[in-house]
Structure 1
Amino acid sequence: MQNILFVKKKVGESYLIWFQNSNLFFYLQEPAWYVFNRIVNRHKVETIAEKFAARYSVSYDESLTFVTDIRKKAEEMNLPFSGKRYFETHKKEIIQHSFKPYSEHCYSMFNKVVKFSFETLELERFIHPMAEHLKAEHPPEAKFLFELFTHNGTIILRVNNVLKGSWTKNESEFVKGRVFVELINILHNKTEADWLMTVHASAISNGKKTILFSASPGSGKTTFAALLKANGYQIISDDFVPIEQNSFNAYPLPLAMSVKEGSVDLLKNYFPELKTAPSVDMGPKKKVRYLPVGNEIIEMTFPVNEFIFIKYDKTVDFRLEKIEPVEALKTLLDEAWIPASPKNIEVFLEKILNISYYSLTYSDNQKALNAITGLFNND
């Protein structure tokens, strides 16, 4: 079996395992941890099964099945994702590959001009609709060139002729995230090592601190963020939030927020520009309009103090509950990307367990807004 490089953290009664090769997390409890700990120390499966059977008073056959399953899962979690394997085996071909762009656009972000070249309309949709308001009509020569194209069906990101990522069609949800990471590095003069993590969330600030709002798609995150903006709060970043390792500050990315058609009637009262904003088809039964968030000031960085998992539910008037970090972490890991270095993972696991987490379920907008105002004022 291939050597497994990992970092572990005891969280409550569980062990949180990070696999370096795949940059994936996995929770283990006893007796699975007992087995995993011996597998990574290269004990024979049969030997582990014998000791497991005696330790937990089960038959050898049951023990062997359990140990084999844990070993199989560990091997799966240790695999690099398929796009990375393609990247490594076709590197020379991809570097030399040329393509005819479907479109090319230059965007002005924080006084820097970034050019994008998209091979297809589908690839253009990853970025252009949310950056269109930043388009520079007569820009100076761009120093940064982002190219999105396909090679044998695999999606490729190339920045200034350096390969930055590759993904199969089944991994296409990771494309935007990688593009955003490369963008924030350029815009904020950072490297990947400077970031603790990026989160699928809305970062909202009162000018002193930042609260992150995260949710699964369709749960009302963007709508609520827009309502907070209408009530005087500042959106630092919507949908993609980079957090610096040392300061724990959330940094701005000046892309527009996507407002689903179902929220337009509510929000157009606060943002009249939504009435005339074009409706963009983003897939089956998914149309959105884009609303610039006005975060084009690069100095807008404030520390993250709270993390709120938000859900709109018409059957619930209002409910705000504090969550233990152990439970919150399980949800957060589904919404976060953490740079894959053992040092960063150790810092992440230390810091992320020391902030406050809440669950907000609501249908009454005013009650929810009042509660968040209370959190902002509670310094």
Structure 2
Amino acid sequence: MKKQSKFLYKTVEDKTIVWFENSNEYLVLENNTADILKRLSKGIPVKEIAEALSKKLAVPLDRTFDFIIDLEKKIYVPKSNKEPEIVNDYRDIEKPKSYEFIKFYKVNNVVFKVSYLSEKELSHVHPKFAHLVIDNTTNFDYEFDVFINNKFIFLIVDKKLIGAWSSKNIHYFQGKFSMQFIQKIHHKEEDEWMGVFHASAVSNEKKSILFLGDSGNGKSTSLALLQAKGFTCLADDFVPMDVEKREVYSFPASISIKKSSLETLLPIYPELETTAEYNFTRLNKIVRYLKPNNTNYFNHLPCNDLVFIKYEKDAEIACEKISKIEAFQQLIPDSWISPKLENAQVFLDWFSSLNCYRLTYSKNEEMIATVSKIFSDEL
């Protein structure tokens, strides 16, 4: 049986989080189970481990033996959440000679030239970054090319092929585009990032808080409400965090506002009335985009708090600390965590130090007051 090459272990509360290097997968295990895994990884024979476990738990040897064999099979053939690999190097694909749309985006003093073959390619990227558009210029720092060929969408950055994705995996393309974007903005290569979280990040200019939760729970709406009260939008939907500083970095995409939130936000942001509307049938949502109030897209701040936020009609305000294990199991499925061993260790150390909350609300002012208390460490 092929063994995993390396593991990382982190005891959090009464469980052990285990990371597998070969698959970049995380599992939450009982401490006894994690101890068995540690012994297996050291090459200790199954029989010897089973005998020790049988004595410790006072159960028959055949039961502990079968348990360890079953565990070994499950552990060493973990599910993989890896991005689908490209099965063709596409050297026979020619870059288009002309593009229908060419956009220039300025992020602080960094200028990107992005060429889109047609309106279809444009729709996958441009709406989130339209607020960054500047007039055409011959002076730019980085050049991106986006085109569809043979049902695959291609991304070329500074004349280098980054990858190609099928129409079923557009979200992987969008993630890679965003990753290339932040690498250029913040001058950090991919292995210098600890991870990227599907969350909303708000700051008080001293530190940041991450809002998490299922789609439709109100992450972006809460972010927009807080922005109107003087807090800063660091990032929405795509929240990058670096390894060196363990800080949340600014990402310049707009805040995505669902149609169901317009009634709440239009009195605060009247510009949403005439903002273009986008229907994402794959995600079953209709959104408009709100410009973030961030004036420094090079900004980065520490994050000590995760808040699983949920708007619920007529609910009484409730904010309580939740177990880190519960928070971890909700955080991981929608996150990209670096596959590099050293970075995974930084992630586990950072996560174990966090405060994790669940915030349910129906009244906006109460939500804002509660978030203010979290920022000031009053909860």
The percent of aligned pairs where both chains have the same amino acid is 28
The aligned residue for residue 69 of structure 2 is 67
Matched, 1:4 2:4: yes
Q: TM-score, normalised by structure 1?
A: 0.85
> Within 5 A, what are the aligned runs for 1:160-239?
160-167=158-165, 169-239=167-237
Please report how far the alpha carbon of residue 271 of structure 1 lies from its aligned counterpart in structure 2 after TM superposition.
0.7
Q: Measure the CA separation in 1 of the matches of 2:272 and 2:229.
A: 17
| Corresponding position of 1:316 | 315
Q: In the alignment, which residue of structure 2 is the partner of 1:24? A: 25
Question: Which stretch has the larger CA shift, 68-77 or 328-337?
Answer: 68-77
For the residue of structure 2 that corresponds to 1:310, the secondary structure is strand
- Give the drift of 1:149: 4.4
Partner of 2:306: 307
> Hey, what's the Cα distance between the residues in 2 that align with 1:70 and 1:99?
50
Alpha-carbon separation, structure 2, partners of 1:322 and 1:125:
40
Deviations 1:137-188 (A, max 9, x none): 3122434233344566555433223343455555443332222221111011
Corresponding residue for 1:116?
114
Correspondence for 1:98: 95
Q: C-alpha displacement at 1:270, in angstroms?
A: 0.6
Gaps of 5+ in 2: none
Poorly superposed stretches of 4+, deviation over 6 Å: none
- 1:155, 1:169 within 8 Å by CA — same for their partners in 2? yes
Cα deviations across residues 94-130 of structure 1 (Å, max 9, x unaligned)? 5854347564432222222212334565543332111
Change (3 A) 1:54 1:148: farther
What CA distance in whole angstroms lies between the structure 1 residues aligned with 2:18 and 2:288? 40
Query: Match for residue 352 of structure 1?
Result: 351
Cα gap change, 1:269 to 1:106, in 2 (>3 Å): same
Q: Decide whether the 8 Å contact of 2:199 with 2:211 is kept in 1.
A: yes
CA distance in 2: counterparts of 1:236 and 1:99, whole angstroms: 35
Shift in CA distance, 58/279, structure 1 to aligned 2, threshold 3 Å:
farther
CA distance in structure 2 between the partners assigned to 1:37 and 1:376 by the alignment:
39
Deviations 1:15-65 (A, max 9, x none): 2222223322122225643554455456777x5896599566358489547
Superposition pairs for residues 257-272 of structure 1, below 5 Å? 257-272=255-270
Structure 1 Cα separation of the partners of residues 25 and 114 of structure 2: 30
Q: How does 1:360-379 map to 2 (within 5 A)?
A: 360-378=359-377
Question: Could you say if the C-alpha distance between residues 163 and 75 of structure 1 is closer, same or farther in structure 2, counting changes exceeding 3 Å?
Answer: farther
Specify the alignment match of 1:329 in structure 2: 328
TM-score by length of 2: 0.85
Gap change, CA 1:366 and 1:82, over 3 Å in 2: closer
What is residue 253 of structure 1 aligned with on the other side? Answer: 251
- Measured at CA, do residues 104 and 42 of structure 1 come closer, stay the same or move farther in structure 2, by a change above 3 Å? farther
Instruction: State the alpha-carbon separation in 1 of the partners of residues 250 and 225 from structure 2.
Output: 19
CA contact (8 A) 1:250 1:302 kept: yes
**Is this contact kept in 1: 2:203–2:231, CA < 8 A?**
yes
Cα gap change, 1:3 to 1:155, in 2 (>3 Å): farther
1:282 counterpart residue number = 280
CA distance in 1, matches of 2:335, 2:146: 23
Two-structure CA RMSD over aligned residues (Å): 3.1
CA contact (8 A) 1:115 1:146 kept: yes
User: AA paired with 1:328?
Assistant: A
- 1:321 alignment partner AA: E
Equivalent-residue separation in structure 2 for 1:151 and 1:35 (angstroms): 50
Q: Structure 1 169/21 Cα, relative in aligned 2: closer, same or farther at 3 Å?
A: farther
Contact 1:157 1:179 in 2 (8 A): yes
User: How far apart are 1:319 and its partner, in Å?
Assistant: 0.6
Query: C-alpha offsets along residues 48-90 of structure 1, whole Å, 9 cap, x if unaligned?
Result: 896599566358489547734642453233x583623x3xx53
